[in-house]
Every structure is written in C-alpha cells, then in structure tokens.
C-alpha cells in the first residue's frame, strides 16, 4: 500500500532540538506532534522502546490563545507553550522528533515504511482534525483576538455577549447550539454573505456584502470540517463521519496501525486526546512484550 499526500516540507522546531540524525528503523513511528501523539510517545519511550515522531506544525493548539481546562495547568497557558512543554518532555525521554510532513506510508508483512525511508513495527496516526478556513478579509488578523475555531474551547470567554457563527452545515448548528447556553445572542451566517471582519485590538463585528454591519464580540468559524483522512482512505481503514474508526483501545483494522486524538472524533479536547494517546501507547508496549513472550 502506498500513500501520497502533499509535499510541503519542513521548517523545524525539532531540528532545533535535534543533536543527531534520526535512525532508519524504530519500534514505533507516530504521525502527529499534538497532545495525542506526544502522549502516546511518552508511554512507549518510557518502556524503553524507540519512537520517531513526525509533526508538520503545532496542530490545533497553534491557534489556542489560552488553554484553561487542562489538568495541572493552574494558570491559562497558550497552546504553543503547552505543545513546547510536551515536546520537550518527549525529547527528554528519548523520542526523536522530526518536524516534517509525512507524505507516504507503505505497509508490507507488518512492517511500515514512512516517507520511503523510516521503518517501524507499529504506526500511530494522531494527525488531528483539519478545520476548514473560509477566505474572509480580516479573519487571519483576528484569530485568537475574538475569532475562534472551537465553541467548547472558547465559548466561556463570550458569556452574555453577542457572537456570530460562520457556517451552514451540521457542525455550525452544533457550535451555535453549544453557544446558545452561554452567549446572549447568536447570529448564524454563511461565509458567502460576509465581506470583512473588522475590529481594533479585538473583533468588533462584520461587514456584510449587502453593505450592512453587525457588531459582535466574538466570531466562531464552523465551516465544513474537512478532515485529513487521506491516510485512512488510502490505507483502506474504516472511517465514519470524517473520523477514523478504532476499537476502544485505538486499534484500526490493520495490525500494528493505531489512531488516537481528534482524528478519531468524539470530544475534541486535549484531555481526551492525551487519554487516547496513553491507551494506544500502553497497548503498543504490551503488544511488543506479548510478541517477545510468544516467540521466546
Ligand atoms: C483555537 C482552538 C482552541 C482550542 N482550545 C482548547 C482548550 O482550551 N482546551 C482543550 O482541551 N482543547 C482545546 N482545543 C482542542 C485541542 O486543540 C484538540 O482537541 C487537541 O489539540 C487534539 O490533539 P491531537 O493530538 O489529536 O491533534 P492536534 O493537536 O491537532 O495535532 C495534530 C498533529 O499532527 C500533525 N500532522 C498532521 N498531519 C501531518 C502529516 N501529514 N505529517 C506530519 N504531521 C502531521 C500536526 O502537525 C500536529 O502536530 C482547541 C482547538 C482550537 C482549534
């Protein structure tokens, strides 16, 4: 099986932390350097197994201005700072991190080959969920300053305020429903109606293409929910509603291939991603022990 994705290659967080070149062969390769992938890597590395982790960027948390609901963080922390701490932890335990996009995976006789060069007995897909971003003037400028991509994460910052949900599908409806219990007023619009998001230091509202103006304190982007399911589709593992289907321990339909975190759906939160990563990590450690015992 061969998988090809895009070829947009590295800028490097990991290389700053690298002291040597990666080996070619590992016990486990993890694709994804977010909470799920990092968490899995900690368990596997602490059991003395070799782990190579690929991360093309900081994932969903790159846009998180403040995280205030994760265990052990007594003060709000930015998503990027949390990821940095997680990766430093993994590196300390011996995980090798490459900030490189994975563009190809192949599998033959229970050995996986990644990007044509690196082999492993098991692979963990922890690539998160790609959230689609409409092309609206001002959107990028106000990301983290009133523009959010996650109601369950940021809704509480807009208690009794006016918010706009941008999107037309089921995802937008569920975001609006969630916000309806928190915010004073929710307006739902299609991105096609919007000319511009405006503000000063923070969002103040939007201008519509018909010339009218709506003031708002926050804007939630909930368009589509295109997920990066290329791996699953091409490898032939089951997906449902844009998520990779696994059993309760993160196993996919292919022996040695696991998935955890946002890419398996459910609650899109750090705690769930970290928990699933731990389960997958521990399962991989147990599987290796089992194979050793059986062959001994
Ligand atoms: C704006 C925002 C704010 C949020 N705030 C909170 C919050 O306050 N609290 C909370 O609990 N949750 C919050 N979340 C949700 C949280 O970020 C996610 O649930 C969590 O990050 C999921 O972890 P993950 O490891 O599954 O995926 P991600 O964190 O998205 O990580 C995916 C990883 O996979 C990598 N990757 C993807 N494709 C490839 C590839 N082809 N090759 C190599 N690497 C690849 C990415 O670079 C990244 O490292 C927020 C999300 C957003 C968008």
pLDDT at 188: 95
For the chain, give the percent of residues with pLDDT over 90: 64
State the distance from the centre of ligand 1 to the C-alpha of 295, rounded, in angstroms.
38
Q: Where are the domains of the chain?
A: 13-130+227-295, 147-221
pLDDT at 132: 62
Strand partners, 197: 206
C-alpha dihedral (73, 76, 81, 85), degrees to nearest 10: 0
191: left (phi over 0), alpha (psi -120 to 50) or beta: alpha
Output the ligand 1 site: residues, CB below 6 A. 5, 31-37, 54-57, 59-61, 63-64, 67, 69-70, 101-102, 126-128, 148-150, 153, 228, 261-262, 268-271, 273
Strand partners, 221: 166
State the distance from the centre of ligand 1 to the C-alpha of 32, rounded, in angstroms.
9
* Listed range (23-27, 105-109, 188-192, 262-266) with the worst mean pLDDT: 105-109
CB 128 within 8 A of CB 39: no
pLDDT at 234: 65
Total-model pTM: 0.76
Is the pLDDT reported for residue 293 higher than 60?
no
134 — pLDDT class (breaks 50, 70, 90): confident
Q: What pLDDT digit, counting tens, does each position of 234-256 carry?
A: 677 888 877 899 999 999 999 99
State the distance from the centre of ligand 1 to the C-alpha of 149, rounded, in angstroms.
12
Report the distance separating Cα 234 and Cα 99, nearest Å.
Answer: 23
- Which DSSP letter does residue 211 get? S
Mean pLDDT for the stretch of residues 223-227: 48
102 — pLDDT class (breaks 50, 70, 90): confident
CATH of 13-130+227-295, one of 3.40.50.300, 1.10.274.10, 3.90.800.10, 3.50.50.60: 3.50.50.60
Report the nearest atom of ligand 1 relative to the CA of 35.
25
Average pLDDT of the chain?
86
Chain centroid to CA 183: 26
State the distance from the centre of ligand 1 to the C-alpha of 293, rounded, in angstroms.
36
- From 12, 31, 153, give the residue whose CB has the most ligand 1 atoms within 8 Å, as the site to mutate: 153
Report the nearest atom of ligand 1 relative to the CA of 37.
25
168 — pLDDT class (breaks 50, 70, 90): confident
Report the nearest atom of ligand 1 relative to the CA of 32.
34
Q: What pLDDT digit, counting tens, does each position of 267-283 carry?
A: 999 999 999 999 999 99
pLDDT at 15: 41
Report the distance separating Cα 284 and Cα 28, nearest Å.
Answer: 8
pLDDT at 32: 94
Protein fold of 147-221: FAD/NAD(P)-binding domain (3.50.50)
pLDDT at 290: 58
Q: What pLDDT digit, counting tens, does each position of 170-203 carry?
A: 668 878 988 999 998 999 999 999 999 999 999 9
pLDDT at 149: 76
CB 231 within 8 A of CB 252: no
State the distance from the centre of ligand 1 to the C-alpha of 61, rounded, in angstroms.
5
State the distance from the centre of ligand 1 to the C-alpha of 146, rounded, in angstroms.
19
DSSP 39-79: HHHHHHHHTT--EEEE-SS-GGGGG-S-B-SSTT-SS-B-H
CB 179 within 8 A of CB 155: yes
Q: What pLDDT digit, counting tens, does each position of 33-82 carry?
A: 999 999 999 999 999 999 999 998 899 999 899 999 999 999 999 999 99
């Amino acid at each position: 099986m061969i998988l090809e994705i895009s070829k947009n290659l590295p800028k490097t967080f990991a290389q700053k932390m690298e002291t040597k070149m990666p080996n070619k062969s590992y016990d486990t390769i993890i694709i994804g350097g977010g909470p799920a992938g990092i968490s899995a890597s900690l368990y596997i590395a602490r059991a003395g197994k070799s782990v190579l982790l690929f991360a093309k960027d900081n994932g969903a948390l790159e846009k998180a201005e403040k995280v205030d609901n994760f265990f052990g963080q007594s003060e709000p922390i930015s998503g990027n700072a949390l990821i940095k701490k997680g990766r430093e932890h993994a590196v300390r335990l011996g995980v090798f991190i490459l900030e490189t996009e994975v563009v190809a995976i192949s599998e033959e006789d229970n050995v996986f080959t990644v990007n044509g060069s690196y082999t492993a007995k098991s692979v963990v897909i922890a690539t998160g969920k790609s959230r689609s971003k409409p092309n609206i003037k001002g959107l990028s400028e106000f990301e983290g300053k009133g523009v959010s991509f996650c109601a369950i994460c940021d809704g509480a910052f807009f208690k009794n305020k006016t918010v706009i949900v941008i999107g037309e599908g089921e995802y937008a409806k569920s975001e609006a429903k969630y916000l309806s219990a928190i915010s004073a007023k929710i307006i739902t619009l299609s991105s096609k109606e919007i000319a511009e998001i405006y503000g000063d230091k923070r969002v103040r509202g939007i201008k519509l293409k018909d010339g009218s103006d709506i003031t708002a304190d926050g804007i939630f982007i909930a368009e589509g929910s295109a997920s990066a399911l290329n791996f699953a589709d091409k490898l032939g593992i089951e997906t449902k509603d844009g998520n990779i289907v696994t059993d309760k321990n993160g196993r996919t339909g292919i022996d040695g291939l696991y998935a955890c975190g946002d890419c398996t759906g459910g609650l899109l939160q750090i705690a769930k991603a970290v928990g699933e990563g731990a389960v997958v990590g521990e399962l991989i450690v147990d599987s290796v022990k089992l194979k050793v015992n059986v062959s001994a």
